[in-house]
Each structure stands twice: as structure tokens, then as C-alpha cells.
Amino acid sequence: MSENKQDLDLIIVGSIGLDDVETPNEKRTELLGGSVSYACVASSRYVKTGMVGIVGADFPERYHELYAKQNIDLQGLEQVEGKTFRWGGVYDADFINRTTIFTDLNVFETFSPKLPDAYQSVPYLLLGNISPDLQLSVLDQCKDVSFVVADTMDLWINIALDSLKQVIGRVDMLMLNDSEAELLTGHRGVRKASEAILSMGPRYVVVKRGEHGAMLFSPEGIFIVPAYPVTDVVDPTGAGDSFAGGFLGDLAARGEVTETNLRQALLTGSVVASFNVESFSLDRLSELSSEDIAARTAELAAMMQA
């Protein structure tokens, strides 16, 4: 926590949770999870990343150490009295669909992100999947951010549409999955839905398609990035968050938002997410070498070569 504040390239805000995850093969409890955990561990290998989130007094010291070891800036990590946000879910036999068993918001219920001074003038910002009102309050605190990505989900489309539309009108890129894009716009099909979202303000839309990858809709056209076909999925939790973090970390490291850089960074996001699903929690992601990522990125690029 003594990092040089001038070094910060990317701020990520989102949830931090202790997860109980059950797959068809195994059950694990009190895993480090939450959107900001996955996204920051994914991004911090590319650029200096500041984390904005909240945990309770019960947050295990070993998880704190994991963040620090990944060289994540923790000035924006608040620890307060009470219990950390907890989530429990069970995956179906397909490892894709899941059922939420419990969601205990705990300290997350009254979370009101306050950005440290050093976080207010950082070029890249990822608004992880939290309520649009919190996303707006973070946006209000940013002085001269140059590229903002917001993630969202069906819950906010259903219960906070007006605030979400304000967010969409103020960000450079919206990220969401295909069914959410259709729900948000009322259009059937990813192409029509994405074009409708572009007309709501953002310059870019990224539609996540789970085990099928993602699509970028930009003024220069459409880019389809496949998911890397992993041999064994162990736990899909955090795939979308590590995709977002890997993407934006790599993009920030490239230093300029161009179509080519966006496409290369999406490829990176896809590869990082594919490693993430090969273990529970951040086990695989936190131990990855740059060589692992480079090798798989080359492999995925070759799979896209007609």
C-alpha cells in the first residue's frame, strides 16, 4: 500500500465476496470471489490497478495477501465492522447454468464507494457489475478518466432501468451478455440489440456469450472473439469478470484505444477467462505466467485463422 500513486492506470470497482461453490464434481466454501477480485487479478499483470470495494472484519488475511502479491493497489479497499458479502451457488451438470442458493449482502448492503484522491484522475475505469446508482456515484468522482467500461446484469435492467440508462449514456463501452442485450433493448438477436445499445450513447458494446466467446460492436464493424476451448471446466465463476479485467488491463497497457488494440485486448480477455474456469476461485489466475498466456493466445489466434 505504499505504491507510487502516479503509476495507476486502471481503477476497478465492484463486489468482493466469500463464495460457496458447488459443481457436479466438487464443493468448496469461503472462496475468494466477487467481480472486483477476478477483474483486478486479471488486469494487474498488465497495468497498475487500483481496487475499489468493501469487506468485513471477517475477511481472511490470506486473501488480503493474495491481492497484495498480485501488485494490486489497495488504497480503495475499505474494511469495516460486520461480515463480508457472501454468495452460494450450485452449477448444473453442464457447468453453465447455476442456481443461487444464498446471497448475504452484509457490508455490501450499505457500500458507498469513495475514491481515494489518487484514484480520481486515472485514465481507465471499469465499473464492475454493481447497482447503476453506485456506478453513477463513482463516475461523478472521476475527474478526467478517458475510457470507461461498465458491466451490468439482468437484475439492474429489471429494477433500475432509469439509472442504468444514465450509466449507458456516460460510458465508452457497455459489457453485457446476449440475453441481457435483448432484455435491455427489446430487440431479438445480438446484432439488432447491440445496434440499439450503440444508439443509447456508448461508442462500443461488448456482448459476452459464455462458452462461445464475445462480440465487439464498434464504429469500425464487428469483431467476433471465440472462447478458447478448454479441456476441463472446473468452475466457471468469475469468467465474465476475468474477461473484463484481462481485456481492460491489456488495453490500458497498449496505451491507446484503437480498433486493433481493442481486438487484441479482447483476445487476451478471452484467453485469461479460459484459464480462470480451469480452477476454483483465483487459484489458476493468480499463478499464471506470461508464457502461459502468450502460448494460449497464439493457439487461439491460430484457431481463428481461415
Binding residues (CB under 8 A) for a copy of itself: these are 93-95, 188-192, 209, 212, 215, 221-226, 229-233, 263-264, 266-267, 301-306
Cβ nearer to a copy of itself, comparing 125 with 248: 248
Across the beta sheet with 77-79, what order do the strands follow?
77-79, 49-55, 10-13, 124-127, 147-151, 173-177, 204-208, 214-218, 221-225
Burial of 11 (0-12, 13-18, 19+ CB in 10 A): buried
Helices (H), the chain: 35-43, 61-69, 132-141, 154-159, 161-170, 178-185, 190-198, 239-254, 259-276, 290-303
CA-to-CA distance for 171 and 185, rounded, in angstroms?
A: 17
Q: At what angle do helices 259-276 and 35-43 cross, to 10 degrees?
A: 120
- Measured from the CB atom, the residue of 95 and 105 that comes closer to a copy of itself is 95
Dihedral sign from CA coordinates of 143, 132, 220, 305: positive
Q: Which of residues 5 and 191 has its CB atom nearest to a copy of itself in the complex?
A: 191
Residue 123 or 210: which CB sits closer to a copy of itself? 210
Q: Strand 10-13 relative to strand 98-104: parallel, antiparallel, unpaired?
A: unpaired
Q: How far is the CB of 10 from a copy of itself (least distance, A)?
A: 22
Report in angstroms how near the CB of residue 177 gets to a copy of itself at its nearest.
13
Pairing of strands 86-91, 124-127: unpaired
CB of 266 to a copy of itself, least distance (A): 8
Shortest distance (Å) from residue 157 CB to a copy of itself: 18
Smallest separation, CB 268 to a copy of itself (Å): 10
Q: Cβ 23 to a copy of itself, closest distance in Å? A: 11
Nearer to a copy of itself, 28 or 209 (CB): 209
Task: Pick between residue 200 and residue 230 the one whose CB is nearest to a copy of itself.
Answer: 230
